[in-house]
């Protein structure tokens, strides 16, 4: 069964038609709504029941969509590090010089005296925005907001306390090693200038359990996952407590809270299987546990909404929910589900001749909503993300088809708060779309995205040209007619291929700091 979706997909990149200095729409000068941005990790849109998930419900995510403004054509990047950097800097992931992709795993230690020397080393090579070119938190700082970040902190795979502070965060709590985030039971976390030890958590790797896909190894894999020695406190529980503290401490002043969660990034790890799926005869134990991770994130959203209500600030707070990239499968088991091997033909996926699709990987959750590709791909399944804004009594519930990207968020918030940002940002403000449904997205807008296969360009009119390093080939799709990227029409429209390749030649500026693309301008020519 081909579970395709019906949407017009494209991404957003600045065009000369719209200047960042132009203020399109600002809230009343006396209004300073709080903003809470919840960022899911590796969660495909199809994991939400409002978008068709049938094996469990996500009532709080659904509430944000049904009672808020949801964007049907919202996009992140192909994987976590560039997505977070793009969100926090306002730049697309195809342009050099805005951030450094560091290597993780270096904070996987129990001796915290080793941390400071590593931080000093990272600080010495950090790539920063020039003076006057603001990070997301600094935009809110300029508007008089108190800023906080709780969870999987900032971007790259290894950060430092100095880095977080220099980006404008006045409070932060969480991980600074994104590889260490593959475990959910940290022995320590960072809280402002301090390293805070977590009672009962003793594992240097934060309790990360190596996945086993061999059918015969499932009993051992389950034993490994449920071995709770040195795993007393679950990270999301720790984050929830700090989120509640933050809201209560700053309820009487405007605040911006950014919560980049680990959930539901794998390997699968959950302290308790949700009652929603516990007795589901269709799901395997591993699938039940993964589903429980999505449900656990949904519960955090419910907790936040309840806390805002209790403190009488729900109608003064914009709650935003999105994800960094497309879906990823963390419940692979041989002869049942595989994101590497086509379960129908037995061939390896190359995302060119043999594209990753729900029906070919036997994904029982259909997490990418029938789109081709998963995380790390420049296919639609790798970059299409949920995005919804909920502001009680201020935003009329509806869906919008405007094409927006994660790196637009910074400019949109700057527009709302009447804060100027540099004209060099690649993101634009979609505030008029959000507040009034007025479209300000230029018709000739396009986006460039990186991936493990190479770059792609997606036009606002639905044309998409993607490069694949499998054999140095290009594919052309009309996403309005073919959102699942089934029919390559490059031979039928050679002029369109040439036109889009010309843009790639002049706009792609990859460096080793970005992605894993082997694409080059020389390749194009």
26 lies in some domain: no
Token reading at 463: 């044309």
Tens-digit pLDDT profile for residues 45-83: 999 999 999 999 999 999 999 999 999 889 899 999 999
In the block, which residue shows the tokens 């990823």? 328
Choose among 518, 509, 519: nearest CA to 93.
509
- The share of the chain scoring above pLDDT 70, in percent, equals 91
The count of structural domains within the chain is 1
CA-CA distance, 147 to 136, in Å (whole number)? Answer: 10
Strands annotated E in 324-427: 384-385, 387-390, 398-405
* Cα–Cα–Cα angle for 467, 468, 474, rounded to 5 degrees: 45
DSSP SS3 for 260: strand
- Beta carbons of 400 and 72 less than 8 angstroms apart: yes
- The confidence score (pLDDT) of residue 510 equals 60
- The confidence score (pLDDT) of residue 28 equals 62
The sign one gets for the Cα dihedral 156, 446, 369, 392 is positive
The sign one gets for the Cα dihedral 59, 64, 70, 74 is negative
139 lies in some domain: yes
What 118-126 contacts at long range (C-beta under 8 Å, 24+ apart), as own/partner pairs, is 118/158, 119/160, 119/161, 119/162, 122/158, 122/159, 122/160, 122/163, 123/160, 123/162, 123/163, 125/100, 126/100, 126/160, 126/163
pLDDT band at 15 (very low <50, low <70, confident <90, very high): very low
DSSP SS3 for 396: coil
pLDDT at position 20 over 50:
no
Tens-digit pLDDT profile for residues 155-212: 989 999 999 999 999 999 999 999 999 999 999 999 999 999 999 999 999 999 999 9
Burial class (CB in 10 A: 0-12, 13-18, 19+), 380: buried
Partnered with residue 466 across adjacent β-strands are 456, 475
- Range with the poorest average pLDDT among 78-87, 93-102, 220-229: 93-102
79 lies in some domain: yes
- Range with the poorest average pLDDT among 135-144, 196-205, 227-236, 509-518: 509-518
pLDDT band at 297 (very low <50, low <70, confident <90, very high): very high
Instruction: Give the rounded distance of the alpha carbon of 521 from its chain centre.
Output: 28
pLDDT at position 230 over 70:
yes
In the block, which residue shows the tokens 């560091």? 102
4 lies in some domain: no
40 lies in some domain: yes
pLDDT band at 4 (very low <50, low <70, confident <90, very high): very low
**Residue 504 is inside which H or E element, if any?**
helix 494-507
Strands annotated E in 285-348: 317-323
pLDDT band at 296 (very low <50, low <70, confident <90, very high): very high
- The confidence score (pLDDT) of residue 59 equals 98
Please, what's the largest Cα pairwise distance for the chain? 63
pLDDT at position 524 over 80:
no
Backbone φ and ψ for 300, nearest 5 degrees, come out as: -65, -40
Choose among 380, 401, 365, 482: nearest CA to 46.
365
- Beta carbons of 43 and 83 less than 8 angstroms apart: no
pLDDT at position 280 over 90:
yes
254 lies in some domain: yes
In 250-284, where does DSSP find H-type helix? none
Choose among 44, 10, 21, 461: nearest CA to 291.
44
Mean pLDDT of the chain: 90
* Cα–Cα–Cα angle for 43, 44, 48, rounded to 5 degrees: 90
Evaluate if pTM is beyond 0.85.
yes
Q: Residue 503: CB partners within 8 Å, gap ≥ 6?
A: 446, 448, 457
For range 375-384, the mean pLDDT: 94
Query: What range defines the domain where residue 130 resides?
Result: 34-331+387-435
Tens-digit pLDDT profile for residues 390-437: 999 999 999 998 888 999 999 999 999 999 998 889 888 999 999 988
427 lies in some domain: yes
- Beta carbons of 291 and 276 less than 8 angstroms apart: yes
pLDDT band at 348 (very low <50, low <70, confident <90, very high): very high
Token reading at 350: 């190359």
DSSP SS3 for 197: strand
pLDDT band at 13 (very low <50, low <70, confident <90, very high): very low
177 lies in some domain: yes
CATH number at residue 65: 3.40.720.10
CA-CA distance, 177 to 175, in Å (whole number)? Answer: 6
Q: Residue 249: CB partners within 8 Å, gap ≥ 6?
A: none
Instruction: Give the rounded distance of the alpha carbon of 505 from its chain centre.
Output: 27
Tens-digit pLDDT profile for residues 139-149: 999 999 999 99
Token reading at 173: 């709590």
């Amino acid at each position: 069964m081909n579970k395709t979706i019906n949407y017009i997909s494209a991404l957003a990149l600045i065009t000369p038609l719209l200047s960042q200095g132009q203020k399109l729409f600002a809230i009343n000068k006396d209004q300073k709504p709080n903003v809470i941005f919840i960022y899911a990790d590796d969660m495909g849109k199809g994991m939400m029941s409002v978008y068709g998930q049938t094996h469990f419900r996500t009532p709080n995510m659904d509430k944000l969509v049904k009672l808020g403004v949801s964007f049907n054509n919202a996009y992140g990047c192909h994987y976590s590090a560039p997505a977070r950097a793009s969100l926090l800097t306002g730049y697309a992931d195809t342009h050099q010089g805005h951030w450094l992709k560091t290597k993780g795993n270096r904070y996987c230690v129990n001796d915290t005296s080793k941390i400071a020397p590593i931080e000093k080393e990272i600080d010495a090579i950090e790539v920063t925005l020039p003076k006057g070119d603001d990070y997301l938190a600094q935009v809110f700082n300029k508007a008089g907001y108190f800023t906080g970040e709780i969870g999987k902190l900032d971007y790259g795979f290894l950060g430092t306390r100095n880095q977080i502070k220099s980006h404008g965060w006045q409070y932060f709590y969480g991980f600074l090693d994104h590889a260490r985030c593959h475990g959910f039971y940290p022995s320590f976390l960072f809280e402002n200038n301090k390293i805070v030890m977590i009672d009962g958590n003793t594992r240097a790797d934060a309790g990360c359990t190596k996945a086993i896909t061999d059918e015969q190894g499932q009993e051992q894999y389950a034993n490994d996952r449920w071995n709770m020695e040195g795993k007393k406190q679950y990270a999301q529980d720790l984050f929830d407590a700090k989120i509640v503290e933050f809201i209560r401490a700053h309820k009487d002043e405007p605040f911006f809270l950014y919560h980049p969660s680990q959930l539901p990034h794998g390997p699968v790890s959950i302290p308790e299987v949700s009652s929603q799926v516990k007795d589901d005869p269709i799901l395997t134990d591993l699938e039940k546990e993964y589903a429980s991770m999505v449900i656990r994130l949904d519960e955090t959203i419910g907790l936040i909404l309840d806390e805002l209500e209790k403190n009488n600030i729900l109608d003064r707070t914009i709650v935003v929910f999105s994800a960094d990239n497309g879906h990823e499968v963390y419940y692979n088991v041989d002869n049942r589900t595989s994101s590497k091997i086509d379960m129908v033909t037995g061939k390896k996926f190359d995302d060119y001749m043999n594209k990753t699709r729900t029906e070919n990987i036997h994904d029982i959750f259909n997490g990418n909503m029938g789109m081709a590709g998963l995380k790390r791909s420049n296919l639609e399944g790798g970059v299409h993300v949920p995005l919804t804004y909920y502001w009680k009594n201020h935003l009329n519930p509806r869906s919008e088809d405007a094409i927006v990207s994660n790196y637009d968020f910074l400019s949109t918030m700057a527009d709302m708060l009447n804060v100027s940002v540099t004209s060099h940002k690649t993101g634009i403000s979609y505030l008029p779309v959000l507040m009034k449904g007025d479209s300000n997205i230029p018709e000739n807008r396009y986006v460039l995205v990186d991936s493990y296969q190479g770059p792609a360009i997606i036009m606002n009119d639905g044309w998409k040209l993607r490069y694949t390093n499998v054999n140095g080939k290009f594919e052309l799709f009309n996403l309005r007619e073919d959102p699942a990227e089934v029919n390559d029409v490059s031979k039928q429209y050679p002029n369109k291929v040439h036109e889009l390749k010309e843009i790639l030649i002049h706009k792609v500026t990859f460096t080793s700091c970005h992605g894993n693309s082997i694409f080059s301008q020389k390749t194009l020519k």
